[in-house]
Structure 1
Amino acid sequence: MATNNDIRAAIDNSRLTTRLSVFGGIASLLLLILTIVLGMVRGEAGGADVFSLAVIPFSMALLFSLSSLVFGVLRTSAAQEEEEKQLLEKRRDVSALDVEEDVRFTAGRSFENYRRFAPYVLALLGAAMMAIFLIYFSRSWAERAEEVVTGTPSGNALNAALLSAIMMLLSVFSGAFFVGQSRGRSFRWLRPVGAWLVTGFAVMFVSTITALFAHNNHLEVDGYAAQVIFWIFAVLGVEFVTNFIIEFYRPRTMRESRPIFESRLLALFTEPGGVMRNIASALDYQFGFKVSGTWLYSFMERSFFPLIIVWAAILWGFTMIHEIGPSEVGVKENLGKVTSEQLLEPGIYWTLPWPFGTVKRFSCTDLQQVVIGELHDKDEEAAAPADDGHGHSAPKPTKKTGLSQVVLWTTAHGSDDNNFIVAVPPEDGKAVSEADGASISFVRMVIPIDYRIRRDGVMDYAYRNADPVTTLKRIGEQAATEYLASSSMMEVMSTHRLQTEKEMKERIQKLADQHSLGIDIVAVTILDSHPPVEKVAPAYQNVIGAMEEMETKILEAETYAVKTVPEAESKALRIKVEAESYSHMIKTVSAAESSRFTTQLSTYRVMPAMFKLKTYLDFLEKECQGIRKFIVASGLSDEIYELNFEQKERLDLIDTDITAIK
């Protein structure tokens, strides 16, 4: 009787089988759909006949994935049922076992029936599917037997080769996984899935090869390969029928090692470990213990060496495929010899595998650069630094802080071994006296040369010079030395730098054409042009520092003058305007007051009483407008008035001013 641990292990293995079956079914279905759509329906794949035949192994893999899925589900239910039985026995519930066993515990019988009869059904289904597909292909090929086989256009062949290679990789990885997983007894039903996926890998591998041959107008290879694969599948179909018949006469054992629907012929290729069993026996004998029983040897036996051989063959085969980018041209070589001087346009091409064939690629649009001298940062030697306008490259961020790093003439920078130092005449070409020293000056500089390969000069660039980059660098040094020997130091460092760059570009282009480099010089730039660091640079630095300080003082004085003069003028104008405004105000107000008093005096003289009364009333109306006023008759001396100066809390309707409302 199985223990509880065995039952739990069976449940876990069955569930894992179910999940792996789902994964295998999805992978097989995806590959099957791609094969049907691109191979059988549209027929656009290169090597279309071989590509279409891959529908057989992928269909078989899908069929056996579904069968292993059902197997896993039923086995899980049976194991769970067995676990439930043990729980009931532990509870000693005998009545429940006797009464409900026929009703409740049916999963085990279902699983046993499926394991007993399903292999026969699967073998017949496999044979039937194989016969249907083979009949379909034979009739399809017979209908076009009298037509001229033109094959697939070469324009689609490379795309088909890439597609076949991708599907080939998917098949071999998934197939190898299932074959390895099926080593355990619990996962035996997964082995046909892996075997047929590996078979799909083999078909796709042949399809990739035939597509490459079709690209080179060898269209007959696809037909021959398709016929061979067709008869191989026919033999496998006959094996299904043979296994089904032999199964009735085979003696039964307690342990069934192999289901009848599992192909023995495919096992010769999916179980390469059997070839190494003799080696394992020899190792066990030599070491005195079972070396072949270790997991490392088991892994090596099953997977390592076959995968290494397959991958090595695949990778070596991929060396035949070469891609030329959109902005590139290529030259094909086979066995070290140029097959044609006509340049290859952008696209995918194939040659003999490495090292027998290759394609050299060249870009006729990208700028390339050769640097005469050395840049400050060796890690960025290939990049041309931006010019700051004074013959120096722009400061670069330091690696520690990210701040701008200032490089002075007096500070050693770069490598002294690769410095390009040129002797040039003094300023204006005037020789100095013997007491002053020799009449030459030394200038250190870096000269990046940007160039582009000409389309009509690719063959010259590739084959007429052993090292065109080094040749261009030597040409640049020659042209720079010859030209700078006739130029003054200050001209090179300041005013005539652009003219110097232009002249050097023309000289370098002329020398490059003489050496048949096949390039166009795009730009020549002079960077880091300054005296050598050792003794000359400090003196130049002092002079330049003094000149810069003088310019700073002049600019400061001009700035003060520009700021002070307008400020003084503005202040004087403001005082003048304020004075004029005050004068105008005083004069106008005084004249108005004088005119007002003159008018009042004339009015007073005409009617003094009326003038006083009007003045008094105007005072009451204007100056006392916000004051409450009470009028009392002066002639009624005996009458007493009571005045309430309290403010009313709210107004009545009687107090409303009707006139104001109207």
Structure 2
Amino acid sequence: MERKSDIRAEIDNARLMTKLSVIGGIITVVVLLIPVLIFGVIKPDLIGSDVFSLGVIPYSLAVVFAFAAMIYGMLNTSAAQEAEEKQLLEKRNDTHALNVEEDVRFTAGRSFENYKKYAPYVLSILGAVLVAAVLVAFSRYWDGRLEKPAVTGAVYGPVASAVFAALSLFAGAFFVGQSRQPAFRWLRAFGAWLLAGFVIMFLSMIVTVFASSGGRLDTVIARVVFVILAILGAEFIVSFIIEFYRPRTIREMRPIFESKLLSLFTEPGGVMRNIALALDYQFGFKVSGTWIYSFLERSFFPVVLFWALIFWGFTMIHEVGPSQVGIKERLGKVVSEEPLQPGIYWTLPYPFGEVKRFSCTEIYQVVIGELHADGEEEAEEVADDGHGHSQPQKKSTGGEPTPVVLWTAAHGSDTNNFIVAVEPGLRSAESKSEDAEGKEDRNAASIAFIRMMIPIDYRIRPDGVMDFAYRNADPVATLTRIGQQAATEYLASTSIMDIMSSGRASAQTALKERIQKLADEHHIGIEIVKVMILDSHPPVEKVAPAFQDVIGAMEEKEATVLKAESYAARTVPEAEAEAARIRAEATSYSYRTKTIAEAEAGRFNTQLVTYRIMPRMFRLKAYLDLLENDCRDIRKFIIASGLDNEVYQLNFETKQQLDLIDVDASALGGN
């Protein structure tokens, strides 16, 4: 009789569970899921909250688990009724020869056992796939939209969120409480996800009430909820995997699709009981009966909550550093437009209050063009600071030296080419390459492409902090585009040879002035410290080899010109010196000849006067001067002119003058 009453109770519980799951599923679909789909996904402008839209996930999972609980209740009812029929058959006298347990007509019990065995695995995979698909859809939608849709009904958001939160709380608490009975255990996952929907709707109510913050609070909380839902979705996979390795008890009570993380909030005591059962199983004795475990069971969650509140309270304290200025915000709105000076400040706890800090002395840097020799560009995303724009990038202090890469070798990206002019008389490298193929385009424009890296160093002005923080959605990206605009405009009006050689310094100065002017026009609130032009060269793929030939020819031309100038510098002074020497010698010869001629003329005039006075005496003196001066070294023989008949013998062997060896020594030593 007792066994029959137990079966009847099981049938009643199974039927009740079926009714509850059907009622709960219908309520979730009609009252919660469909309105959330309409207001959050189909018509997002009615509520205008990303947090509200994420409520689709918990309500969809609740519907899935309600349907699973309904099937569980139906199969359990059939299995219990079958067990009751078996009990009646066992009492009949004519069935003593039959084995009721092996009767092929009784399949409900086996179906129920198979469902309990395999359905949790299917539900776990289905839950993981559902969460992943919806999160991916939301991620693509958020990344693809230009801006959040404008809210058309400012009142609808808080009211709808509050209503859905209340319904989710009451329904979830009821089903979680009902699931504490073993016969209704499969309703626990359904109730837990309804409570998760309550949390999301409660957060949606908060962000829609404070919609004046410009949607920033909604964005931050939506990202947090997104990550939490992703973790809960990953828990399905983790539970599916560890189910094959965790220890089993004689009677397994917890389905694997039931979230342990959600149970921390829906049933903390149940989690502690599960921990106690695991400890008892591992150590072989009742660990849960010790006083240490009893103390932890009573105090663990209050202590964790207490420390969580303390850590959350620390988010109210903010420090503005010595070289920084701060901006105080409350619920996403600026409290005071006057920047905060260095010191300690108090705000509401995060995310309701915050102090944004900016350094006005630190040098930041953005780079226009390629960054690395291997072709990588500065394309990595920078973490958003909460205002929709990224934080400025600090200037790199370096470390290892940058490897030397020839610009004729393949490197860099082909997306940062700038148009520059070509000097008259120097055709572009493209035309040179076409000439080599016999396809010269005589009507080609005198332009060329050049690649370069333009680092822009800047700092935030103290009086421009508000502009930097709130005037532009992304001031760093705005500065990058301003730099690209200024570089494109300036380089189109200059020569490629100037940029690659002597005109680089003036180009850097001109770019700095242009970028500063554009930054002031866009109210970025920064000061341009330095603009540099680095790694300027023509495109590598086709132009660089031909351009290298042109540069080589120009270098050879320059070398020849320098050699000619060197030869001229060496030859011209030598020629000028030789000409000066010749002129000096000619002048000296002219002066000497003229002077000698004048002296000869004067001497001749004097001799003429003397000759005219005493002719014979002049001739005699001239004759004697000839013998004395002109014939000084000539041997002379004097013969009397009156002795005409005399014969003279002249000995020309006689020495003109005596040497020391010809002297008679005996004659010298007579004394």
Larger radius of gyration: 2
Q: What TM-score results when the alignment is normalised by the length of structure 2? A: 0.40
